[in-house]
Amino acid sequence: MKITCLYRITLNTALLVCLVNATDAQNTVGPPVETKAPNSAYKPAFAGQTRIGSVKTTTPYKTDKLAEKLSSPWAIVPMPDGRLLITLKGGSMEIRNADGSLAKAITGLPAVEARGQGGLLDVALDPEFAKNKIIYWSFSEKYDPGNLTAVAKGKLDESKGVVENPTVIFRATPALKSSLHFGSRLAFGKDGYLYVSTGERSNLDGRVLAPQLHAGQGKIFRITKEGKAAPGNPFEKKAGAMPEIYAYGFRNPQGLVFDPYTNELWETEFGPRGGDELNLIKPGKDYGWPEITYGIEYSGEAVGKGIQQKEGLEQPVYYWDPVISPSGICFYQGDAIPEWKGNLFISGLSSTQLTRLVIKDNKVVGEERLLEDKKERIRDVACYNQMLYVVTDSGTLYRISRQ
Known catalytic residues are 181
Cα 303 to Cα 207: distance, rounded to the nearest angstrom = 11
Q: Which of 69, 10, 198, 177 is nearest to 122 (CA)?
A: 198
Residue 16, helix vs strand vs coil = strand
1 by Cβ neighbours in 10 Å (0-12 / 13-18 / 19+) ranks as exposed
The helix (H) or strand (E) run that includes residue 139 is strand 134-143
One-letter-per-residue 3-state SS of 75-136: EEEECCCCCEEEEECCCEEEEECCCCCEEEEEECCCCCCCCCCCCEEEEEECCCHHHHCEEE
How distant, in Å, are the alpha carbons of 95, 136, 155, 183 from that of 170? 25, 11, 17, 14
CA atoms of 25 and 359, how far apart (whole Å): 9
Which alpha helices (DSSP H) does 188-341 contain, by range? 204-207
Burial class (CB in 10 A: 0-12, 13-18, 19+), 174: middle
**Element containing residue 24 per DSSP (H, E):** helix 22-25
Give the N- to C-terminal CA distance of the chain in Å, as an integer: 29
CA 108 to CA 120: how far, in whole Å? 12
Q: What is the dihedral of CA 64, 66, 72, 77, to 10 degrees?
A: -90
d(CA 345, CA 366): 12
**Strand pairing partners for 6?**
17
> Side by side, which strands form the sheet with 61-67?
61-67, 397-402, 387-392, 378-384
Torsional class of 181: left (φ above 0), alpha (ψ -120 to 50), beta (otherwise) = left
